[in-house]
Structure 1
Amino acid sequence: MDPLTQGFAGAALPQAAVRRTGAATAGLLGFLAGMAPDLDVLIRSSEDPLLFLEYHRQFTHSLVIIPFGGALCALLLHPLLGRRRGLTPLTTWLCCTLGYATHALLDACTTYGTQLFWPFSDVRVAWNVVSIIDPLFSLPLALAVGLAARTGRRGFAVAGLCWALAYLGLGVLQREQARALGEALARERGHAPVEVVAKPGFANILVWKTVYRAEGRFFVDAMRTGWAPLQCPGESLAVLDRARDLPWLDPASQQARDVERFRWFSAGYVALAAPGSDRVIDIRYSLVPNEIDALWSLQLNRAAEPAAHGAYRVHRGDSQAALPRLWHLLWAADC
């Protein structure tokens, strides 16, 4: 999730659970600790553009690291906040650990992938039940945390946590409905049985992006769930075959290794941006669910030295044009 939502979730749990301190203090400690795991984005290299993909949501997000992450936050925050507000080191650690603990689990509810079981496994867990940014999830949670801090009534924090859990539960139901709609569309195309993956669209859990693999291609469609279900067929691209699509690429080169690193990061959902292109894209994300308009990619260079890395690219796209199309999918009677 976005950093502020992570902070609000981190604040709500110690506000609701720790009665040895005021809700404002517990919330502040939990808020800061709840955002702390994302400091791993600072692990970067000017020489290796993909390094941050390997470390973001890795060891700082592991379940086994939670008590140690909480301890490190407490070590920094107790002299600044905890001691000045009369807390014992143990109470500061408890608030920080509870706040830290919410982060990885909330991230795993999104689609990006979180290494919850590092160092035992590098599997990127993604439950696909909520968008990385979703105001309907975040704003009520933020309001509850603010009211708990202002009034000292922990019931507001409890209500905020209940809202968050209920919203995530609704996301699970919507995801399964989207998958069922996607499977039905695949059957209509003669692609059955296939595994359909459903991911929430941008900032909502009503319109979903479904992806499945059949006949050597990825098929990307949009499914609207809820009271007015709608299937909106989209685009398809050939699954990346390095030998076929990039015959010029030396398998022993660093760029070839970068392609495999990017494939791992993308959970295998990689394709060329277009036939003959030298750009490998992650097809999981786009502003409009039934379009293949990747938000990031790996740009290769045919003239590069064997030791040279590929270039990681972020594509913002034309959001002014995309958002009206997304709005249409949310509310219109047709695609």
Structure 2
Amino acid sequence: MDPLTQGVLGASLSQSASKKQHLVVAGVLGLLSGMAPDLDAFIRSESDPLLALEFHRQFTHSLLFIPIGSLICALFLYHLFSKRCGFSFKQSWLYCALGYGTHALLDSCTTYGTQLFWPLTNERYAWNTISIIDPVYTLPILILLVLATCMRAPWLARIAFLWALIYPTLGMIQRDRAEASGWQLAQERQHTPIRLEAKPSFANILVWKVVYETESRYYVDAVRVGTSVNTYPGESIAKLNVSRDLPWLDPDSQQAKDIERFRWFSNGYIAQDPTDALRIIDVRYSIVPNQMKALWSIKLSKAVDANTHVKYETHRDNTSESRQILFAMLTGNK
């Protein structure tokens, strides 16, 4: 999730557990600790662009790391300001732990993938119940927290945290409805998917991207699950076969290894970009949910040596046409 959402969620739980006189400091401790796990974004390498993908949402996001991560936050924030506000170190650590502990669970509600049980396993958990940015989720929490702080009313923070639980639950219901529609689409095409997933489109839980895999291809469709269900059949693309699609690539080269690293990050949903044979895309993400315009990819090169890494590229599909198509889906228009 975005840093603001992570911060206000952490603050909502810390304020919910605080006394009236501790509300402000508890909120600040929860806010800052709720954002702290994303400091792993600073782990990166100029020569290896995929290193950041491997470490983001890894050890700092593990449930097993919460005591350590929150302790680091408490040590820093206690001496920075909470000690001067009359807080004991134990109190500071408690509120930091509450804020820090919300982060990984919220990230797991998105589609990106979070290594909740590292180092026991590097499996990426993604429950696909909420978009990585969703104002309908964030704004009520933020407003209630501002009111709770101004009025010194912990009960408002508890309502904020209750909303933080209710909305992903609604997303779970919506996800299951979208998946059911996706299975129906696949059946109508006489396909038997190996796997099928539904993911919320940008900033809402009304329109979903359904991705499913057959023996040779990936299919993407959009589904609007409101009072009725509208489907928007989309595109398909061949699954990446390295030996077939990239016959020139040395299997022992760093680029070949990086493809497998990118495959792990993308949960296997990778394909060759139809507009660029040297680009490998993550088919899970696009602004328009029934299209293959990926938001990120890796770029290969035939002109580099065997030890050179791939390039990591991001793509922002912010055209007015894409926004209009998504808006039409949100409003239920064909």
Question: What does 1:111-122 align with in structure 2 at a 5 Å threshold?
Answer: 111-122=111-122
- Report if the CA contact (8 A) 2:208-2:223 is conserved: yes
List runs of 5+ in structure 1 lacking aligned partners: none
* Aligned-partner SS, 1:318: coil
Alpha carbons of structure 1 residues 139 and 207: separation in structure 2 relative to 1, 3 Å: same
| CA RMSD, 1 decimal | 1.2
- Give the superposition deviation at 1:150: 1.3
- Report if the CA contact (8 A) 1:11-1:34 is conserved: yes
Runs of 4+ residues over 4 Å off in structure 1? none
- The aligned residue for residue 288 of structure 1 is 288
- The aligned residue for residue 205 of structure 1 is 205
- The aligned residue for residue 142 of structure 2 is 142
In 2, the alpha carbon distance for the partners of 1:241 and 1:224 equals 32
Matching of residue 224 in structure 1 with residue 205 in structure 2: no
In 1, the alpha carbon distance for the partners of 2:152 and 2:201 equals 36
- Give the superposition deviation at 1:23: 1.1
Which amino acid in structure 1 is aligned with residue 75 of structure 2? L
Question: What does 1:261-272 align with in structure 2 at a 5 Å threshold?
Answer: 261-272=261-272
- Give the superposition deviation at 1:144: 1.3
TM-score (norm 1): 0.98
Alpha carbons of structure 1 residues 109 and 230: separation in structure 2 relative to 1, 3 Å: same
- Report if the CA contact (8 A) 1:183-1:194 is conserved: no
- State the Cα deviation string for residues 59-100 of structure 1 (Å, max 9, x = none): 000000001111000110001121111000000000001000
- Report if the CA contact (8 A) 2:20-2:152 is conserved: no
- The aligned residue for residue 109 of structure 2 is 109
Which amino acid in structure 2 is aligned with residue 116 of structure 1? L
Which amino acid in structure 2 is aligned with residue 231 of structure 1? T
- The aligned residue for residue 43 of structure 2 is 43
In 2, the alpha carbon distance for the partners of 1:22 and 1:16 equals 11
- The aligned residue for residue 240 of structure 1 is 240
Question: What does 1:49-88 align with in structure 2 at a 5 Å threshold?
Answer: 49-88=49-88
TM-score (norm 2): 0.98
Q: Which moved more, 1:101-110 or 1:80-89?
A: 80-89
* Aligned-partner SS, 1:205: coil
- The aligned residue for residue 95 of structure 1 is 95
Matching of residue 299 in structure 1 with residue 266 in structure 2: no
Alpha carbons of structure 1 residues 15 and 276: separation in structure 2 relative to 1, 3 Å: closer
Which amino acid in structure 1 is aligned with residue 81 of structure 2? L
In 1, the alpha carbon distance for the partners of 2:319 and 2:139 equals 22
- Give the superposition deviation at 1:193: 5.2
Alpha carbons of structure 1 residues 194 and 308: separation in structure 2 relative to 1, 3 Å: closer
In 2, the alpha carbon distance for the partners of 1:194 and 1:298 equals 25
Question: What does 1:309-324 align with in structure 2 at a 5 Å threshold?
Answer: 309-324=309-324
In 2, the alpha carbon distance for the partners of 1:332 and 1:266 equals 30
Which amino acid in structure 2 is aligned with residue 56 of structure 1? H
In 2, the alpha carbon distance for the partners of 1:193 and 1:315 equals 28
- Give the superposition deviation at 1:275: 7.2
- Aligned-residue sequence identity (percent) comes to 52
- Give the superposition deviation at 1:10: 0.6
Q: Which moved more, 1:17-26 or 1:51-60?
A: 17-26
- Give the superposition deviation at 1:206: 0.2
- The aligned residue for residue 128 of structure 2 is 128
Q: How many residues align?
A: 334
Q: Which moved more, 1:248-257 or 1:274-283?
A: 274-283
Matching of residue 274 in structure 1 with residue 269 in structure 2: no
List runs of 5+ in structure 2 lacking aligned partners: none
* Aligned-partner SS, 2:36: helix
In 1, the alpha carbon distance for the partners of 2:212 and 2:243 equals 22
Alpha carbons of structure 1 residues 100 and 319: separation in structure 2 relative to 1, 3 Å: farther
* Aligned-partner SS, 1:168: helix
- Give the superposition deviation at 1:304: 1.0
* Aligned-partner SS, 1:234: coil
- Report if the CA contact (8 A) 1:20-1:91 is conserved: no
- The aligned residue for residue 157 of structure 1 is 157
- Give the superposition deviation at 1:192: 2.6
* Aligned-partner SS, 1:208: strand
- Give the superposition deviation at 1:18: 2.8
Which amino acid in structure 1 is aligned with residue 139 of structure 2? L
- Report if the CA contact (8 A) 2:20-2:153 is conserved: no
* Aligned-partner SS, 2:84: helix
- The aligned residue for residue 327 of structure 1 is 327
In 1, the alpha carbon distance for the partners of 2:276 and 2:105 equals 40
* Aligned-partner SS, 1:84: coil
